Structure 1
Amino acid sequence: MSHGRSRFLRLAAAILLGASVGGCLIGEDLHRGYVIDEQAVARVKPGTSAEDVLKILGTPSTVSTVGNKSWYYISQTATRRLQFMGESVTEQKVLAVYFNQGLKVERIALYGLQDGVVFDFISRKTESGGQEANFVAQLFRGLGSFVPKN
């Protein structure tokens, strides 16, 4: 075998090995749950029926079982820096649709974590105490516990 061909084969093997190992080093973003469509959310106004909300937003991730009727659409983004390593949650959002007794939309809220506090992106305020804010906070704590921390 010629010296030039041997050198070429070693170089090709090194490139192939480097490419396969390099694929393991690439991080990724993982999206789970409901994908929030801002245009669809904008179509849900106070007074919209529950049936129409289902048509517009689809089936909720979870619903309240106590108190007023509320539907929650849950979204989470996690990042994994290296393949085969743990992932860390980078973003969590909960779209909450609150209904009145007649099953018409009373209000909607989009909750996220801002500086570690549950924050409503629609009204631009942090909820003070109350049953619903506590329930949403529990959703955030519960979602975070499913993903191992680095």
Structure 2
Amino acid sequence: MFRRAAFAAVALGLLTTAACAPITTYSGFQAIESDPKDVAIGTDTKSTVRAKLGSPSTTSTFDPNVWFYMNQIKQRVAFRKPQVTARNVTAITFNKDTEVVESVNLYTLKDGKVIAYNNRETPTRGREMTVLEQLLGSVGRGGMLPRDDEGVPGTRPGDRR
């Protein structure tokens, strides 16, 4: 009897601690065979960087000679909101003429800045109707009057379109 109670307590304890174990998710660029830190400034070109690291996560909007390799790690415990525990962004800048690497910049989560978004909406003013316009708005549209298109080709008897 004591063994069953002890076994149940141990099983319950293991289930409780397993439920609180964080779930880790990885997203973005994964360095498998080479690291962005291995890119040599002045010797590597766009083609050698693409051969080493693969296609970039994204390129700069205003300058196609800046490539970004990004990844992040999130952890979530039970039902809580996921927390970003690590974020790495590698920016590789190429020379416009020779396509040789000019600089390699590494940014982490500490380099990021929190931006406060404004959730309010900008009101757009359409045509606002007065109370009198709303009350008399359907007068003259012909909803109450009989229709004159009876017998016109393409209409069916009793059709109320």
TM range, normalised to the smaller chain?
0.5 to 0.7
Matched, 1:70 2:66: yes
Give the aligned residue type for 1:104: V
| 8 Å Cα contact 2:39/2:104 also seen in 1 | no
Q: Superposition pairs for residues 97-108 of structure 1, below 5 Å?
A: 97-101=92-96, 102-108=98-104
Other-structure match for 2:10:
15
2:56 & 2:39 partners in 1: Cα distance?
16
Letter in 1 for 2:56: P
CA distance in 2, matches of 1:90, 1:100: 33
For these two proteins, the number of residue pairs brought into alignment is: 113
Specify the SS of the correspondent of 1:106. strand
TM-score for the superposition, normalised by structure 2: 0.57
**Amino acid of the residue matched to residue 87 of structure 2?**
Q
Large movers: runs of 4+ above 3 Å:
28-31, 35-40
Name the amino acid aligned to 1:16.
A
C-alpha change, 1:110 and 1:63, in structure 2 (3 Å) is: same
**Which of 24, 46, 51 is 2:47 aligned to?**
51
Question: Separation in 2 of the partners of 1:83 and 1:30?
Answer: 14
1:83 aligns with 2:42: no
Q: Percent identity?
A: 26
The Cα shift of 1:26 comes to 1.9
CA RMSD in angstroms, aligned pairs only: 2.7
The TM-score normalised by the length of structure 1 is: 0.61
Bigger radius of gyration: 2
Q: 1:30 to 1:40 in 2, by over 3 A?
A: same
Instruction: Give 2:71's aligned amino acid.
Output: S
Please give the alpha-carbon distance, in whole angstroms, between the structure 2 residues aligned to 1:90 and 1:109.
Answer: 20
Could you say which residue in structure 2 is the equivalent of 1:60? 56
- For residue 68 of structure 1, report the CA deviation from its aligned partner: 4.4
* Higher-helix-fraction structure: 1
Change (3 A) 1:85 1:34: same
5+ residue gaps in structure 1? 1-5, 119-136, 142-150
C-alpha distance in structure 2 between counterparts of 1:40 and 1:66, whole Å: 22
